[in-house]
């Protein structure tokens, strides 16, 4: 009996092994796009690859910020079990490239002309040591205002061009009995809003020096103190229950008309679409007042790992498909972001998407395309999270004055560098 059991087990496991060895036309993708709209967007890629005869092995790990997915990825890579590609953000790509586990897509990049079509700021993250290691999928930007048009018309508001205009608009909303600003009191949301406030208060040069170069003088400056003052002003316009609220619930407040405006990245557009709202008719998208002409971005990238030779063809197919114009257009229309290539026609995009594409092109050419510190594209995660902590403590009252906030911010960033 025992002998039969041993033989049976050996046979079963041997079949499992042989099944693996034969699999070459397969793409294994780790990601955290598990919500309805996001999964539908990824499905476009799946179908594109299926047309070329590649099977799609999905490795989804839910969790909006990607923390769980990145932990799973770390475990897989440490075990030597590389996926073909993984959804990754900025500095993670560079970290893994420094560890020597990424593949090399330079040939494909040359053939497809990525050097010219992908914005330079993105190339900082997808090219390591002269070699292409990741294929950018999209460009989200965070300095947007999302406004409920019905409420806006009711209070007689117009597009705010400066920060003071914005405060006046919020006052009008408060007087009309509507919650002026919908905010979710989680540290990344507060920090995402603060990114826009810093850019608006200090201008593009200041943002770059402070948030990307982490220049001490800029971080200690009065402009930074004024940014914190402005943030404090905005926080007076949120409802008392804002602490801990998820971002999509804040967007829902705007969609329903309970609140006037939300300061959020353009993934919020996906929520409006899911609620069947159209830009211009039901909602308005403006750049955060004072930031027109600049784009604070974050970008999802597919990091390509150093897979064994029999899987390299599948990886090249995946990379080519990801940066193909048709996929970039189809995917980003659904996702709400802007294509990672500047030469994709904007015919399929809605009004906000068209504005986003135009803004990206202008920012790329004008050098005003900056990485979002809150979203992990301005500086490495240690610094970014220290920054988010300080902003969140300021919003929730543990840090009481703007002066203290500036001191704490400098201390935290220096400590985390």
The C-alpha angle with vertex 192 and arms to 186 and 194, in degrees rounded to 5, equals 105
Q: DSSP letters of 256-278?
A: HTSEEEEEE-TTHHHHHHHTT--
- Residue closer to another protein, measured from CB, 48 or 95: 95
Backbone angles phi, psi at 349, to 5 degrees: -85, 155
d(CA 11, CA 142): 55
Quick one: which of 6, 50, 99, 175 contacts another protein (CB under 8 A)? 99
CA atoms within 13 A on the CB side of 137: 28
Residue appearing with tokens 């590389």 = 82
In the block, which residue shows the tokens 């979710």? 184
Phi, psi at 302, each rounded to 5°: -95, 105
- The residues in 178-237 that bind another protein, with binding defined as CB under 8 A, are 185-187
Instruction: Decide whether 182 or 317 has the Cβ nearer to another protein.
Output: 182
For another protein, which is the closer residue by CB, 18 or 241? 241
Binding mask 232-271 for another protein (x = CB under 8 A): --------xx-xx---------------------------
Range in contact with another protein (rule: CB under 8 A) among 34-42, 294-302, 330-338, 388-396: 388-396
Among 315, 393, 406, 413, binds another protein (CB under 8 A): 393
| Span from 15-23, 35-43, 352-360, 377-385 in contact with another protein (CB under 8 A) | 377-385
Which of 7, 78, 150, 168 touches another protein (CB under 8 A)? Answer: 78
| Among residues 38, 300, 346, 408, the one that binds another protein under rule CB under 8 A | 408
Q: How many CB atoms lie within 10 A of CB 43?
A: 15
Rg (CA), the chain: 23
389 is an interface residue for another protein by CB under 8 A: yes
The sheet that has 338-339: what strands, in order across it?
338-339, 138-141, 295-298, 369-371
- What is the rounded distance in angstroms from the CA atom of residue 108 to the CA atom of residue 323? 10
Using the contact rule CB under 8 A, the part of the chain among 13-21, 168-176, 209-217, 385-393 near another protein is: 385-393
User: Which structure tokens are listed for 44?
Assistant: 């476009």
Of 28 and 385, which CB lies nearer to another protein in the complex structure?
A: 385
Pick the closer one to another protein by CB: 70 or 167: 70
99 CB-near residues (< 8 Å, 6+ apart)? 77
| Closest CB 244 distance from another protein, rounded Å | 5
Binding-site ranges for another protein (CB under 8 A): 67, 70-71, 74, 78, 92, 95-96, 99, 185-187, 240-241, 243-244, 380-382, 385-386, 389, 392-393, 395-400, 404, 408, 415-416
């Amino acid at each position: 009996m025992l002998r039969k059991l041993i033989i049976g087990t050996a046979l079963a496991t041997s079949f499992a092994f042989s099944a693996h060895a034969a699999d070459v036309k397969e793409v294994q993708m780790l990601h955290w796009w598990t919500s309805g709209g996001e999964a539908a967007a990824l499905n476009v890629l799946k179908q594109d690859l299926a047309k070329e005869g590649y099977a799609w092995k999905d490795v989804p790990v839910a969790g909006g910020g990607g923390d769980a997915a990145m932990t799973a990825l770390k475990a897989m890579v440490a075990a030597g079990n590389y996926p073909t590609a993984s959804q990754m953000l900025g500095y993670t790509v560079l970290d893994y490239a420094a560890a020597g586990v990424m593949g090399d897509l330079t040939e494909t990049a040359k053939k497809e002309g990525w050097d010219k079509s992908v914005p330079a700021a993105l190339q900082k993250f997808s090219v390591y040591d002269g070699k292409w290691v990741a294929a950018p999928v999209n460009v989200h930007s965070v300095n947007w205002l999302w406004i409920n048009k019905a409420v806006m018309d009711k209070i007689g508001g117009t597009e705010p061009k400066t920060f003071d205009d914005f405060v006046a608009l919020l006052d009008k909303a408060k007087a009309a009995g509507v919650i002026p600003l919908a905010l979710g009191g989680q540290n990344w949301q507060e920090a995402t809003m603060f990114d826009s406030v810093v850019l608006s208060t200090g201008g593009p040069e200041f943002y770059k020096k402070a948030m990307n170069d982490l220049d001490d003088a800029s971080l200690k400056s009065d402009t930074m103190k004024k940014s914190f003052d402005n943030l404090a002003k905005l926080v007076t316009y949120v409802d008392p229950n804002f602490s801990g609220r998820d971002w999509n619930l804040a967007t829902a407040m705007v969609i329903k008309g309970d609140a006037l405006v939300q300061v959020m990245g353009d993934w919020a557009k996906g929520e409006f679409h899911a609620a069947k709202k159209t830009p211009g008719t039901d909602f308005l998208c403006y750049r955060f007042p004072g930031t027109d002409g600049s784009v604070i971005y974050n970008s999802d990238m597919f990091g390509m790992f150093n897979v064994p030779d029999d899987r390299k063809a599948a990886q090249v197919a995946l990379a080519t498909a990801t940066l193909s114009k048709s996929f970039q257009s189809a995917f980003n229309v659904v996702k709400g972001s802007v294509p990672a290539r500047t030469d994709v026609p904007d015919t399929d995009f809605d009004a906000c998407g068209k504005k986003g594409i135009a803004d990206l092109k202008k920012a790329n050419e004008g050098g005003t395309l900056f990485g979002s510190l809150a979203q992990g594209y301005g500086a490495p995660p240690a610094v970014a999270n220290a920054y988010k902590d300080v902003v969140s403590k300021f919003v929730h009252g543990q840090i009481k004055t703007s002066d203290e906030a500036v001191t704490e911010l400098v201390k935290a960033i220096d400590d985390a560098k």
